[in-house]
Structure 1
């Protein structure tokens, strides 16, 4: 019997953006003496090291988006089109943070045409057959992945606060099962990803409909039993309902794999100290035990 490892999958984009905006709202970008902005990386590392201390993984993998074009933007050209270009102070930090992850001798994973979420979903399903997986993110969409052996830790306001979701208590916490999150998004849409779902149906109504009918398919089979208002809204937006559900579903069949040998949480402290010194993160050095 193989020993069950504890694998931490990190949503790199979620941590970097969160770290950047958490520290830049006062216009404080924190730069090295050479003028390179580092605030996103600094805060990323604080989140990252805190999570490692809390969840005690044996292995860690960091997943990234590989640009804004993916199969979802091909399905729907307005997908995420509401997002502005990243601030110029953040742009040099995208490559730099990957160098920091490499200094920990950890893999950076990303696949062209897919989002980090899809890589996370694929790896989580691969590993959960024999190991425990915990996903670190700020993104509620990833809750659809909660399953046997897969927990999701959603970062909350303030350092070191997490809302941890696991299969057994999920229904009590969310009022739905993990796989119903996809249908919930199909109905209510997602304003941050810029797809509308069914116009006029918000989270409350979507939740109620799914608690009663379980899936969008079953809902459509019973459409005559719905209140007139909901019937009309759904029939008018049927194409968008199906498209929104497809956009919301995380793909778990991405051509990606990562051998656990590459992802062991066992670093060379001198290598990290050198990287932190280069970035002038003197007070982070003491956090690396």
Structure 2
């Protein structure tokens, strides 16, 4: 039995651009910190989970979220420094894609879906994985939105802080702003509070702690509405929640992966065999001398990628699970 590592490519590559050791890294005038950060992270994650098959998921353009919320992710380009980082990573991302391809790493992208959506489709199909010799998966991202896919078979790991989360952990103080009773409460509280990182506005002056307090006090969103209608709840937060029911429902549609529309376009899947020679040439092109040693024949990566063989059987159709 093997496991899957579903890795959020853009999240990790973009986060690398804010790492001091990588943010100003360049070679012959070309920025390289995002490329190196993502490649090194993939190697380190594979080393941490030596019997798991790494799959890097890339963002497509989920236009339907922008249609629901025009301000969605607009905050990522609201300052010159953010624009500079975004543009730098945009130039590096195709090279990172090529680098991983020559390393033999499987990559997936759907033109009309985000990496989040692909991760969700894979995670929610876990009950069928056993037929293909797969007994679970780890979601790899710095984005805590991915907690919504936690289950007995699915865990979460962030290489940014080496933090881990399981479904059991979500129900403890280990979860930021938690504990949560489960996935449904987590998603509803987020929909009420909004998501500043994605620029999704929530109910004014209602954060996740307040949302949880009121949901538990009144036994759910309908209970809050009933308490306000009857006069039992006279606090401003409860009244604001009732006034923002449509906003909360919209946020749930944006955030809850189970509510995302199916892809109208085919999920692209790319993978080549590991090529030490091509990796060496890319390392020379970008001045990655130390990385080159890790990618030599018989080196660290060669040993690692052999450890997750035999891999997922050829009969396993990733496109089927991410459609």
Q: Same fold (TM over 0.5)?
A: yes
Q: Is residue 193 of structure 1 aligned with residue 198 of structure 2?
A: yes
Relative to 1, partners in 2 of residues 1:214 and 1:57: Cα closer, same or farther, differing over 3 Å? farther
Relative to 1, partners in 2 of residues 1:182 and 1:283: Cα closer, same or farther, differing over 3 Å? same
Contact 1:23-1:43 within 8 A present in 2 as well: no
Relative to 1, partners in 2 of residues 1:221 and 1:7: Cα closer, same or farther, differing over 3 Å? farther
Structure 2 residue runs without a partner (length 5+): 78-82, 301-323
Which residue in 1 is equivalent to 2:238? 231
Q: Is residue 167 of structure 1 aligned with residue 167 of structure 2?
A: yes
Structure 1 residue runs without a partner (length 5+): none
Relative to 1, partners in 2 of residues 1:185 and 1:162: Cα closer, same or farther, differing over 3 Å? same
Cα distance, 1:135 vs structure 2: 0.9
Superposition map of 1:46-65 within 5 A: 46-65=40-59
Q: Is residue 273 of structure 1 aligned with residue 284 of structure 2?
A: no
Cα distance, 1:153 vs structure 2: 0.5
* SS of the residue 1:231 aligns to: helix
Cα distance, 1:57 vs structure 2: 4.0
Q: Is residue 13 of structure 1 aligned with residue 17 of structure 2?
A: no
Distance between the aligned counterparts of 1:40 and 1:143, measured in 2? 25
Distance between the aligned counterparts of 2:211 and 2:205, measured in 1? 10
Q: 1:202 aligned to 203, 207, 222, which one?
A: 207
> 161-170 vs 89-98, which deviates more?
161-170
Q: Is residue 250 of structure 1 aligned with residue 257 of structure 2?
A: yes
Distance between the aligned counterparts of 1:282 and 1:191, measured in 2? 39
Cα distance, 1:11 vs structure 2: 0.4
Cα distance, 1:98 vs structure 2: 0.6
Relative to 1, partners in 2 of residues 1:151 and 1:199: Cα closer, same or farther, differing over 3 Å? same
Contact 1:147-1:167 within 8 A present in 2 as well: yes
| Between structures 1 and 2, the one with greater helix share | 2
Contact 2:109-2:267 within 8 A present in 1 as well: no
Cα distance, 1:146 vs structure 2: 0.5
Q: Is residue 146 of structure 1 aligned with residue 143 of structure 2?
A: no
Distance between the aligned counterparts of 1:263 and 1:210, measured in 2? 46
Relative to 1, partners in 2 of residues 1:100 and 1:213: Cα closer, same or farther, differing over 3 Å? farther
- 1:96-145: CA deviations, max 9, x gaps? 11111111222321222321101111122224542210011001111111
Q: 2:64 aligned to 56, 71, 82, which one?
A: 71
Superposition map of 1:67-106 within 5 A: 67=61, 70-84=63-77, 85=83, 87=85, 88-106=87-105
Over aligned residue pairs, what C-alpha RMSD do you find? 2.7
- 1:6-62: CA deviations, max 9, x gaps? 11000011101111121478xx532223x3211111122222211111122431111
Relative to 1, partners in 2 of residues 1:59 and 1:40: Cα closer, same or farther, differing over 3 Å? same
Distance between the aligned counterparts of 1:146 and 1:221, measured in 2? 31
Which residue in 2 is equivalent to 1:283? 290
* SS of the residue 1:147 aligns to: coil
> 175-184 vs 210-219, which deviates more?
210-219
Relative to 1, partners in 2 of residues 1:62 and 1:119: Cα closer, same or farther, differing over 3 Å? same
Contact 1:13-1:64 within 8 A present in 2 as well: yes
Distance between the aligned counterparts of 1:41 and 1:7, measured in 2? 22
* SS of the residue 1:109 aligns to: strand
Distance between the aligned counterparts of 1:243 and 1:57, measured in 2? 40
